[in-house]
Structure 1
Amino acid sequence: MLERKKIKGRTHITFILPDDTPQGPVSVVGDFNHWNPAAHPLTPRGDGTRTATVALPAHSAHSFRYLAAGDFWFDDEHADHHDGINSRIHT
């Protein structure tokens, strides 16, 4: 799931996954963090989810995916669209 919040010319995107699916650590990686899995690991919240928030310029488009333990890459079904390889989001 994705949540968006516009703040002063930027859009804060919160990437949300269930706490246990998939199991183990998960990071959101994309062109906004140079595909670096250490940049935005998802952290647990008290409501049974885990999240990471990224501030992006308004009116921009970005590619991203999730990277889980065991080199398991996957897309977000709630993304704005998919380009065949990556999930895409528009701010």
Structure 2
Amino acid sequence: MSVKKQFIKTKPVCKVTFSVEAKEASNASVIGDFNNWCPEEGALSKLKNGTFKGVFNVDKGASYEFKYVIDGVFVNDDEADSFKWNEFAGAENSVLEV
């Protein structure tokens, strides 16, 4: 799993690329504060090598909680900037700092 950030100098956004290896999975999404936890808005595309990948614009200067949903299973990104306990979910979420 990985998260890559590309800051845009001329805009108040950061292009964030989420990728997760899930060769056996049929679908994957990234959900979080930046897309209202909506799997449809965070759908990732499956590449030939079995990695799911997607690029999203998020506002700079913020912190976002997120998770991956891989075939209906919620998964944290082990390379996240940090982790935060979420009372609503009753579990830790990955955190993205931009």
> Which TM-score band applies after superposition, normalised by the shorter structure?
0.7 to 0.9
Taking the aligned partners of 2:94 and 2:6, their CA distance within structure 1 comes to 19
**TM-score normalized with structure 1 length:** 0.87
Unaligned runs of at least 5 residues, structure 2: 86-91
What's the offset of the Cα at 1:32? 0.9
Q: Does 1:44 align with 2:51?
A: no
Equivalent-residue separation in structure 2 for 1:48 and 1:27 (angstroms): 14
Structure 1 outlier segments of 4+, above 6 Å: none
* Pair 1:88-2:95 in alignment: yes
How far does residue 15 in structure 1 lie from its aligned partner after superposition?
0.4
Identity across aligned pairs (percent)? 25
**Paired residues, what number?**
89
8 Å CA contact retained: 2:28, 2:52: no
Letter in 2 for 1:75: N
Q: What are the Cα deviations for residues 24-78 of structure 1, in whole angstroms up to 9, with x where unaligned?
A: 2010000111111111111023555221111111111100001121x31010001
* Match in the other structure for 2:60: 58
Helix, strand or coil at the partner of 2:56? strand
Task: Tell me, in whole angstroms, the C-alpha distance in 1 between the residues paired with 2:49 and 2:28.
Answer: 17
Counterpart CA distance in 1 for 2:22 and 2:69 is 14
Determine helix, strand or coil for the equivalent of 1:32: helix
2:15 aligns to what SS in structure 1? strand
User: Which residue does the alignment assign to 2:89?
Assistant: none
Q: Which residue of 1 aligns with 2:74?
A: 73
